Amino acid sequence: MIALLPFGLLCLLSLVLAWIDIRHGIIPDWLNLAIAGLGLSKALIVDGPPFALEAACEGAAIGATFWLLRRLYFAFRKIQGLGLGDVKFLAAAGIWVGVTGLPMLLLVAVFSSAGRVAKRSGGKLQRLSLSSRGGEVASFPVVVGGRASLRTSLTACPPPGCGSSRVMTS
């Protein structure tokens, strides 16, 4: 029962995050902090201090990795490929899914995003490129391998007419 409360709160925070991101194209820091704090609290209360420390370290490592990838992408392409809100969200989600759940989180994100892009393009094949402008990040709870805790997924897709360079027709 005690494990269901964090799950319900994460679902609620995920819906708020998705709604704000769809409407405004941003992920507020307070939401990322709430998701991270909830994940750490859940790990501490349900699994104990060693597991909470492990979850915090994994979240930090995931966040640092994606921050570095963001910097490298900008160095090579001279455009932002991933917003800082997305990086912070991945770090917060990393607390929930851990390093072992990250591949599934990204796989679900890619397929969710590709489905939304195909729907918006009328089924036409389009080249995809990452951009931090006008994206939507919707979080949905999903069960993946790894730890026996809640898993989340990330989808990214620009809203129509936002001028985003994430979806480019060739």
Domain count, the chain: 1
- Summarised one tens digit per residue, pLDDT across range 77-102 is 999 888 899 899 999 999 999 999 99
Q: How far apart are CA 115 and CA 108, in angstroms?
A: 11
168 has pLDDT over 50: no
Q: What are phi and psi of 4, to 5 degrees?
A: -75, -30
57 has pLDDT over 70: yes
The pLDDT assigned to 71 comes to 95
Q: What are phi and psi of 140, to 5 degrees?
A: -130, 130
SS3 category, 38: helix
The pLDDT assigned to 115 comes to 66
Residue 134 structure tokens:
């006008």
Strand 167-168 relative to strand 136-141: parallel, antiparallel, unpaired?
A: unpaired
Q: Which residues contact 97 (CB under 8 A, 6 or more apart)?
A: 104, 105, 144, 146, 147, 149, 151, 152
* Confidence band for 108, pLDDT divided at 50, 70 and 90: confident
Enclosing domain of residue 82: 4-168
